[in-house]
Structure 1
């Protein structure tokens, strides 16, 4: 905000106070001695601010009149400005520093030292220069510094349904994390006179999380990556592409991975057998509502805290529920427009398939206490870059990065996933609602 604008704002506030006092007399009243004194003081302040505004405006006019354009070409500088500023400091946004690091490594063709020098002389932040000067090579790439990794996780949160719904992120110390849990509570009973107190024990179990390697390949246009200088819009786009690809990969495994070996176990396979409910025959409002209530009941009867519960489902299922009407033609679940279903948060994700079952048209619904779900994370994040490798797109087609003029960025993270109490997960299977949409 300029000095002139600030002074004008202050004067407007004082004038508003004066008008309040003047309105008293305009309506036939009279000002008290205290109000008269206040009026005089406000009037003096307004006059003083008016004089200050006049001087500040004069100073701005003189500065504008004496300004001359800077001819960079006279110094042999003909390229676009190295630093392009935006309306706000985008470099502070999560993931942007890592995006800048990635772009510099691409421009330097993977040469870490050259990228560090480019960061130093190109107007990039000291954190980016320091990171490129100290990162450790790993698997043909580099290890991202821990502060950058944390930033990436924050930018990943809104892109990952599981994270966004409230799953708790915890560090994996030395690649492992063990959390004790109570699986059988003590029983307290009433006794009569001179009766022995019964002995009861608590049963304990463990949630053990161990580091699993997750990888995502992100193809990005070379035109985008090679953009000269620090540009918030370009870095934001690169950061967003990285976060989206990693978020989709996480959700795919955290929701439906069978686990075992190198894979984390997803919600579908953490849910106990009694909490997996096949869809009922028929799709009337009464049947659907009773079925959804049954999924909630599984958690309620297990004394699960429902405060942080929520629904996740495929877009097809959510849109069908959104269009469901009662006998009067009213929306059965109007709250879906507000992101709720039966009073709880609801989110959609394409990582829940719609081609399950013998007919290839079934999907699933999940009702979960997400505050009871934990993501154990290794803070190390590794990136590798290639302009020549190939990859398979969403349709399974092999694409040459060289032919498409793209750079492939491979991001590897290590984490594991699981609920502290398996009773916190219920799954609806065989869902064909909306299959004909």
Structure 2
């Protein structure tokens, strides 16, 4: 019996032990026979673990003590081949373990135990196999262990403009979190010799974040799922598809969703009405300068902390500003080449619409202190799959995963979004620059 067979036998024993434990957790006492079976399986599990450890140790010792085989006479007579320098091991793709888990689960049609065996056979790694072996299923799919989910969630930062610009993340304990905020300041004043000291009373409010379900559908070619090796290019492709789908939908929610239909409320609908500023037609450089200055001034006048301010705009607006030149032919905003505008970082995303207004050509520019906005998120992801489901592509056409030889992966994350102080958001509306 080889080491992989020992591991499979141990996994089967663990499955039976867990089943017996669930009986007792459900309030039913184990029978004498079941208790005896539990003890026997526990002992066998311990023995197998020790046996696997010895086999692994033997493999390591064999590798350490290995010596080259005596060369054949022909090999001795042949000239020495040119030495090939050793190549450093390529670093593992971030999120690769999650990608391999998705591939194994889809290949096993949702059977976690079979997926665990496939993970070992395909060289996906012990951690992936162990995680699959301990997956907890629910009606909506399987909950991915936190150690694998957190790696993928961290990869959302470069994919989501709001995250990349510095929005802070907080864990949603039991699906909720409350962040206190100062609403009104203390009363302070100078007093005379016989005057009363002014009463000092600060006013507080709360930012309440509640878990809202975000679902992303990610079609993956069955050829990638069938691929039996642990290839970094395959892992990278799957991870990119997963994170790009989630990141794009998050940006839409965090920027322009209105908080209805169980969606987060985005920056546009958190902003105070007085901080939604009408932009000019941008026909002169001075008008554009004035508009951008108004957005910055809105936060400065509100005494915003400005710990991590930044801009969000549509690519159309970004390219218009980048292409502006003065009377001498010099770029007006050369720093845009480095992703900065007036000293603050810029994020561009197609999630800022360019078809607003009656004429259908208006857009928006956001200036926000991202150090003052928060993303509350559950630290686990839920995944499910289907080979028969249909979905709508980017053009709105209904596509059959079965006809395309694809597997449709559904990833569910839970999060919410909001600013600690609503004064930290300014919006330039009616932007037609570059239209």
Into which bin does the TM-score normalised by the smaller protein fall?
Answer: 0.7 to 0.9
Secondary structure of 2:200 counterpart: coil
TM-score, structure 1 as length reference:
0.79
Aligned equivalent of 1:234: 234
Deviations 1:397-430 (A, max 9, x none): 1011111111111000111000111111111111
Task: Go from structure 1 to structure 2 and tell me whether the alpha carbon gap of 1:234 and 1:399 turns closer, same or farther (over 3 Å shift).
Answer: same
Aligned equivalent of 1:427: 427
Aligned equivalent of 1:266: 266
Secondary structure of 1:263 counterpart: coil
C-alpha distance in 1, partners of 2:71/2:315? 60
CA drift of 1:394 comes to: 1.2
C-alpha distance in 2, partners of 1:180/1:119? 46
Secondary structure of 1:265 counterpart: coil
Conservation of the 8 A alpha-carbon contact between 1:90 and 1:96: no
CA drift of 1:140 comes to: 4.5
Aligned equivalent of 1:303: 303
Task: Go from structure 1 to structure 2 and tell me whether the alpha carbon gap of 1:264 and 1:106 turns closer, same or farther (over 3 Å shift).
Answer: same
C-alpha distance in 1, partners of 2:418/2:233? 36
C-alpha distance in 2, partners of 1:163/1:365? 17
Task: Go from structure 1 to structure 2 and tell me whether the alpha carbon gap of 1:371 and 1:385 turns closer, same or farther (over 3 Å shift).
Answer: same
Conservation of the 8 A alpha-carbon contact between 1:139 and 1:384: no
Greater C-alpha radius of gyration: 1
C-alpha distance in 2, partners of 1:140/1:271? 35
Deviations 1:143-163 (A, max 9, x none): 100111101111111111111
Aligned equivalent of 1:329: 329
Deviations 1:18-75 (A, max 9, x none): xxxxxxxxxxxxxxxxxxxxxxxxxxxxxxxxxxxxxxxxxxxx979959xxxxxxxx
C-alpha distance in 2, partners of 1:98/1:402? 24
Deviations 1:63-119 (A, max 9, x none): 79959xxxxxxxxxxxxxxxxxx954543x431100000011122122211110111
TM-score, structure 2 as length reference:
0.79
- Note the 1:367-386 alignment, pairs <5 A: 367-386=367-386
Task: Go from structure 1 to structure 2 and tell me whether the alpha carbon gap of 1:66 and 1:156 turns closer, same or farther (over 3 Å shift).
Answer: farther
Deviations 1:366-423 (A, max 9, x none): 0011111101011221001111100001111101111111111100011100011111
Where does the alignment leave 5 or more consecutive residues of structure 2 unmatched? 1-66, 73-86
CA drift of 1:222 comes to: 1.2
C-alpha distance in 1, partners of 2:250/2:89? 31
C-alpha distance in 2, partners of 1:354/1:255? 14
CA drift of 1:120 comes to: 2.3
- Note the 1:89-108 alignment, pairs <5 A: 89-91=90-92, 93-108=93-108
Secondary structure of 2:380 counterpart: strand
Aligned equivalent of 1:30: none
Aligned equivalent of 2:143: 143
Aligned equivalent of 1:201: 201
Aligned equivalent of 1:11: none
Aligned equivalent of 1:40: none
- Note the 1:30-429 alignment, pairs <5 A: 66=71, 88-91=89-92, 93-429=93-429
Task: Go from structure 1 to structure 2 and tell me whether the alpha carbon gap of 1:121 and 1:226 turns closer, same or farther (over 3 Å shift).
Answer: closer
Structure 1 residue ranges (4+ consecutive) displaced by more than 3 angstroms after TM superposition? 62-67, 86-91
Aligned equivalent of 2:4: none
C-alpha distance in 2, partners of 1:157/1:295? 25
Higher alpha-carbon deviation: 184-193 or 296-305: 184-193
Higher alpha-carbon deviation: 137-146 or 257-266: 137-146
C-alpha distance in 2, partners of 1:66/1:140? 60
CA drift of 1:258 comes to: 0.3
Task: Go from structure 1 to structure 2 and tell me whether the alpha carbon gap of 1:64 and 1:296 turns closer, same or farther (over 3 Å shift).
Answer: farther
C-alpha distance in 1, partners of 2:295/2:248? 25
Task: Go from structure 1 to structure 2 and tell me whether the alpha carbon gap of 1:295 and 1:130 turns closer, same or farther (over 3 Å shift).
Answer: same
After superposition, the CA RMSD in angstroms is 1.9
CA drift of 1:305 comes to: 1.8
